[in-house]
Chains A and B, each alone.
Chain A
């Protein structure tokens, strides 16, 4: 399992143990799993492999990787993910007295 890997504004953090109870599977898009789209470019952090599932619990997203798969992006080199469970963290920016805003590549 990869412990921690970063692709631009996405951080993938390996987790041990089980997924939280009640985590629900999110639907795949036509081109695979999309973790985030760029605001202006339309580029995406994407996993095409059918052996990966995206889940969500309480606003937090997780990946279940059953076979080695790649996380790709038009502007970044791919990240190789080994089988295991991962937490998906999106980069944020500080905004005074407001909720942090997500960063978009």
Chain B
């Protein structure tokens, strides 16, 4: 029987992995990838490390297109209207980067992406082995040239993805049926968030290199899925009974010491890990900034583990946005942000129902307000008046949130001091 406790622990380690890439880890990634390339008869190519998977994905997608253009100079005039000298190619790269990263809420540093592309495409392209060549057909239909370019020389399936899937399959076949059922799934919220963020890149790109990027990215296996397979396979790689190709499993695992790695016959690009921020649960969570933040400026906003827009995360939203929030936890956090420095603002502005009215010892009115929130418990708050007047003689009013079962103003105030309604009898109140 499978030791589920040990498996969960192993998976948790993978899920919780937030390494950085100092030189010795880069060395491991380089060595492992060199062995993977040799295993399919290719020389280890030039490579680049970038600060984030988003930069790595954009750089790889465009570099795939650049390599194809370098192999097919006969297409340049038809595709661009002029021959592509070095300066024109640099311009095309720059424009494609801008087009792809423009819709992102947290844009990675474009210069870093450009440098990586230039680095991995500066040597003359090698002769591609047959297995990595795009289907040989006439490049007449320019409308589909980007799709042809997107698969030309892309070596991921042979290097990492297909061997990993085979190893996964082999282990799975040897597992007893009962274990297959109880095996917990590995789900990495960071990888999921990256996959979701880059959905943007798949629609509406216009420039040739940006279209190659979109076509290439749409053929890639989601990062979250890759991680699941690696965590699973690496758990079984020391267990001989599962008959894994130990070297292959180890190399694939080591290659993924980087957060993401993308390969091509001529180059590979690997990404560094982010800084992540959690709440006490712990779930990905950060106010005022991205909960997943990479050094190059890219990032992803989450509140209590739920993806939100940058505007919501930074408190730029209206009361209508709060009411339309699809997740109760996010709505609560939005109310919290909305009321920062102005307690009770939400109830005041949301046209809440008045449940009860009475007067404090000094004759100031008190109100118990209630606002129903769809799919969540009601927001109930007691509006009270500060007993001590301000210098101008007015009295500050504020609202305190209380349990939704509260029925009277007095019970609400008593609750805020941990007392029942009958117990709350202050002799003096200032």
A-side residues, CB < 8 A to B, are 2-8, 11, 40, 73, 75-80, 89, 91-96, 103
Contact = CB atoms under 8 A, between A and B. Distances in A.
Contacts of A73: 430
14 contacts: A5-B426, A6-B428, A6-B429, A8-B430, A11-B426, A73-B430, A80-B428, A89-B417, A91-B400, A92-B416, A93-B343, A93-B401, A94-B403, A96-B377
Interface string B16-34: 0000000000000000000
Nearest to A99: B280
A92 B419 CA distance: 11
B416 A76 contact: no
A77 B430 contact: yes
Contacts, number: 65
Contact of B427 (A5, A40, A93, A96): A5
A100 to B, nearest CB: 9
A79 B430 contact: yes
B388 interface: yes
Contacts of A3: 425, 427
Interface of chain B: mostly helix, strand, loop or mixed: loop
Contact of A8 (B386, B401, B402): B386
Nearest to B279: A98
A94 B430 CA distance: 23
Contacts of B388: 8, 75-77
B229 interface: no
Given A40-B341, A75-B388, A6 B418 contact: no
Contact of A96 (B376, B400, B417): B376
Given A91-B400, A91-B416, A95-B401, A76 B387 contact: yes
Q: By CB atoms of chain B within 10 A, which of A11, A79, A89, A96 has the most?
A: A96
The 8 closest A-B pairs by CB, nearest first: A77-B430, A5-B428, A76-B430, A6-B426, A11-B417, A94-B401, A4-B426, A6-B429
